[in-house]
Chains A and B, each alone.
Chain A
């Protein structure tokens, strides 16, 4: 039972890890074509595949491991320089990646799917096909054309290792001094006295001596050292030694602790990188050293698969990067040739040049989202409690509390802010999916499209980032499908052949804006007006130049498409996108210039968990209104509302503004106070006022959901707990205004409402 549970746990860890690796793999593949010759990039991509394979094998998912193996073998061949990258190969690899993702998800859902033999065949063909030999590079790449290496041992375990000459010149000689040091520092390696390569080795083979100390916790992490030894033995002939004295007597033995170290000698023709690859999964408390034994008894220490800074007993502060950014074994090419241009053009930081130490990625840990939400909730409560205490202090005026209370308030707010901050993720997590989307869409539509990404470091609430995905894909599809012209048409009107879609994110006040722009043909206002008139959304005779025409495209049922295409969704309009954004307390607008392009602008709150609100009162009940929805507050000092088209309106600085009395909407008894307050908000491009009894003050509110059962009540977007411990509902002004419109439309003739609603 317990083993099974453990199994499940390891598997679910695998699925989580695999999903991340699949993203890395996809990004890597997408960039592969552009970053040809970028060794570090290729290594990273290869490593993602290799890691999936290893992890899958470790949790017993053989079919995934085997399928990944084919993908990895192709990448390995590209890495060795035996296979040149072209668009077809990338497409095949991406297809393989997608299938792999499907396999992972189907395993997670416990209904595994097989690997498609046709795709496997194509991958296998790529590992053999000599046609795709790389073209001699026209410009220098970071590495001279390496002599084609044979598919490495593990890449095709079935075929016997072929002895092919390998370029010795690739291995820089290690100075004698450090050789001696390295030999000296070795533990009691049993092989030490025979530290000499087997002279009977076939040509091309080398002998490596590996000292493996996987560390005490390796078993707890679900890694079996035996698997590593097995993997080594696949590479060639191995001799393995260990020291059984390291294992304590049975009654002191902790079965989950690994006590052993191993010394392994391998005779193999595999390149040294393959040996390092075996140890990719070891964590920071493991140590591995790999040495090549020369025929003359020389010992050459190879770069450890772990950072070279700590060769023997490293207490590594951060997770071991299995490869140095630039493998020191690779011939050092003139550094100026590193191609950072393509990378920075894409808006990503260029790959660090080999001359500089790679910047350490910020340490990250994985946190359970549910726990994080709990923590956010608790921190919010803490802040509320400290508010409560403040209130009590004001009642009793006990001076001695003051300092403690103030400290408590400060600390609780800091905790709340920090935990809220934990929910924030860079929009890159979202944006990084789109190069693939655009590539696929471009392929299918026959259009040539370049995607630019700007501001991907901008941080947003995790939930917003997740829920923004579909709306953005929708807009990107629209851009590809409708906005961007075919290459020939673009050239005909004097535009560059290459259509451009730009995704950008940035701050605007306390909101985050996300833009999806294209340089296509722009909105067809004539057609929108025609359609709007047909649907009765605008009066006959509306000019296409009316600025409000653009917002018509967000109306339900509005689509100027005459037939659905394969690319754009069928029947799902922009109103769905707008509603999704409203659900995130954001807004969506559009700017368009005919012939120049269209930009959709999302304006979003930084976080969903907290709002700045205005506390208002109506009929004795208090409500919170999100400050972001309020443009202005105006006192109605006994002003009698005028009736315009059957609806109450008030004049605000000469402008007639429709008024929605909250008392009426909430069916409260009694007359309103003589002096009401009007909250002005913007609805469908028009100003509307919501009348409340009085303003109480400003609050920062931690938003809570009203719970499953109350989702149907749109007028409240949630609830919050006030300083006095009472619950206050959060008003959604936009929903209130729509609601009052809907109520009015029963009494007013539809045509009038429509015209005014516009």
Chain B
């Protein structure tokens, strides 16, 4: 196992599954291993005084889970009356010593697709707006690109936003 992972050619040929979702007209991909489940957004409890990106908390089978709106850190306009109810991607984040579940609000989850590692191109340093620091790669798909999100950086930003003002 360890030796295999060190072999660059094998590593590139291995493939991974990604959850594909849409947000503000763009397609995004996150590793399927990090996504616990996808829910319709249900009863959200607002947190007055919380960061702007925090849309509220919800009850996930008895556990209180925060739900963030990625539009805030990505600087996308927030749709007050969306055409269809958004979905919540339940994603595992590592906070402190334990794994936590955090909800990310997205427009629509479309697919689960498999891509080889060599299909993931390095992300450009510019040109993706506020989302640039959170994108770790691009995947050419159909007639466009999917932005592969670096979830740890997203969570780090959301975490620091709590102190600040997003």
Contact = CB atoms under 8 A, between A and B. Distances in A.
Asked if chains A and B come from one complex, the reply is yes
B66 A729 contact: no
A384 interface: yes
Given A621-B46, A707-B100, A710-B47, A721 B159 contact: no
Contact of B62 (A381, A705, A715): A381
A729 B48 CA distance: 10
Interface residues of A, number: 30
A725 interface: yes
Contact of A712 (B64, B102, B162): B162
Interface string B146-163: 000000000100110011
- Which of A706, A709, A721, A726 has the most chain B CB within a 10 Å cutoff? A709
Given A716-B47, A725-B43, A729-B47, A709 B66 contact: yes
Interface in A713-747: 713, 715-716, 719-721, 725-729
Given A719-B57, A721-B59, A710 B66 contact: yes
B14 to A, nearest CB: 24
Contact of A706 (B43, B46, B64): B64
- Which of A704, A705, A727 has the most chain B CB within a 10 Å cutoff? A727
A704 B63 contact: yes
Contacts of A725: 43, 59
A44 B52 CA distance: 60
A708 interface: yes
Nearest to B155: A709
Contacts of A710: 47, 50, 54, 66, 162
Contacts of A380: 62
Contacts of B159: 708-709
Contacts, number: 77
A666 interface: yes
A648 interface: no
A322 interface: no
Nearest to B54: A710
A399 interface: no
A729 B95 CA distance: 21
Nearest to A377: B62
A309 interface: no
A705 B63 CA distance: 9
A667 interface: yes
A384 B47 contact: no
Contacts of A707: 64-66, 95, 100, 102
Interface string B14-46: 000000000000000000000000000001011
A706 B63 CA distance: 10
Given A713-B50, A721-B59, A726 B162 contact: no
Given A709-B102, A712-B163, A725-B43, A719 B48 contact: no
Given A621-B46, A710-B50, A727-B59, A721 B64 contact: yes
Contacts of A381: 61-62
B50 A726 contact: no
B123 interface: no
Interface string A659-673: 000000111100000
Contacts of B96: 708
Nearest to B160: A709
B49 A715 contact: yes
B76 interface: no
Given A706-B66, A710-B162, A726 B47 contact: no
B45 A713 contact: no
Given A709-B102, A713-B162, A721-B64, A726 B49 contact: no
Contacts of A377: 62-63
B45 A727 contact: yes
A705 B54 CA distance: 16
Interface in B78-111: 95-96, 100, 102
Nearest to A703: B64
A172 B79 CA distance: 92
B45 A666 contact: no
A706 B64 CA distance: 7
A378 B61 CA distance: 10
A618 to B, nearest CB: 9
A727 B162 contact: no
B120 interface: no
A262 to B, nearest CB: 44
20 contacts: A377-B62, A621-B45, A666-B48, A706-B47, A706-B57, A706-B64, A708-B95, A709-B95, A709-B158, A711-B162, A712-B162, A719-B64, A720-B64, A721-B62, A725-B59, A727-B57, A727-B58, A727-B59, A727-B64, A729-B45
Interface of B: 43, 45-50, 54, 57-59, 61-66, 95-96, 100, 102, 155, 158-159, 162-163
Interface of A: 377-378, 380-381, 384, 621, 665-668, 704-713, 715-716, 719-721, 725-729
Q: Lowest 3 A-B CB distances belong to which pairs?
A: A708-B95, A666-B48, A381-B62
